[in-house]
Amino acid sequence: MEDRQNSHDMIDVTDCLEARDALRGMKNFCFWILLLSLLILEGLFWLERADWIADRPVGSDSRIGRNARAAVAQIKSESLPRVPPGQTVTSPTDDSKAESLSGQRVPVGAVEQAAQEVTEEARAAQAAEEAKEPIDWNRFKLPVRAGWALIGGLNFIVLFFAVLYVLILLITLKVSLVSRLGGISHITRAFFISLFFLLFLFPWQCIIPRVMIGAVYLPSELLCVFPSKAEDSGFWRVLMYLRFVGLWALSVWLLLWSALRSGRWYRATQRRLGIMT
């Protein structure tokens, strides 16, 4: 009877360990997704501050291309052989020489040679023009439409995985209580810290505007509202950095603190089972 009870307890402990490892793996996956998404969102804010988000898409007809084409047209107009009025040049298929109306003779290959020289000079002028012109950095800026789409997609990822992260910690807490794995204080604190993380992260400005605000910002806040107000007011500039840097730093700190507490819980369960000393 005692052997059967010990065997049953061993099966229960094994099942709890498998659940613990599965929950730990999923928790770590959500943590890294959240951290990476928050870092990208903060990077978009600094890109906007550095003026690396373009106000409009960059057209294919750049200033360098226009200048090069103008230079080529000017060289062609200046380099083409001019025939005085009253003179014509016959087609090179007539004879080895062509006669004008005034009796002057023009070599057959003169026109072809002049055209080849003009082409070579045009290519050299275009290369020199492109070498002299500075790099058009506007081509490397993030288009504003791509910025809106990127912020919207990252907001969805952050909110989805934040809710999933909190639920995973709640299930982990229940498993620890039922199976008596130990480290209950660590996992309980990690769960409540994750709740605070979710509360500070949630975009409350969409539900109760002018009352509460969250770390997750809307595309219009970053690209329209705060930059326009911060240009003329130092007070709004301070609020902008508190909004996009202060709340973000607080949310990341809570996320890291929760992950640290859950890591201590995992090590406590290892020591409880005698796996780690």
Residue-level pLDDT at 159: 95
Task: Tell me the C-alpha distance between 196 and 226, whole Å.
Answer: 26
Q: What angle do CA 214, 217, 223 make, to 5 degrees?
A: 150
Q: Are 134 and 117 in contact (CB under 8 A)?
A: no
- H or E element that contains 53: strand 53-54
Task: Tell me the C-alpha distance between 271 and 132, whole Å.
Answer: 69
pLDDT along the chain (277 residues), means of 10: 49 73 93 96 90 58 45 51 50 46 51 68 71 62 86 94 96 87 88 95 89 89 83 85 93 96 89 65
pTM of the model: 0.67
Residue-level pLDDT at 92: 47
Residue-level pLDDT at 236: 86
Residue-level pLDDT at 247: 93
Residue-level pLDDT at 133: 56
Task: Tell me the C-alpha distance between 218 and 207, whole Å.
Answer: 13
Residue-level pLDDT at 156: 95
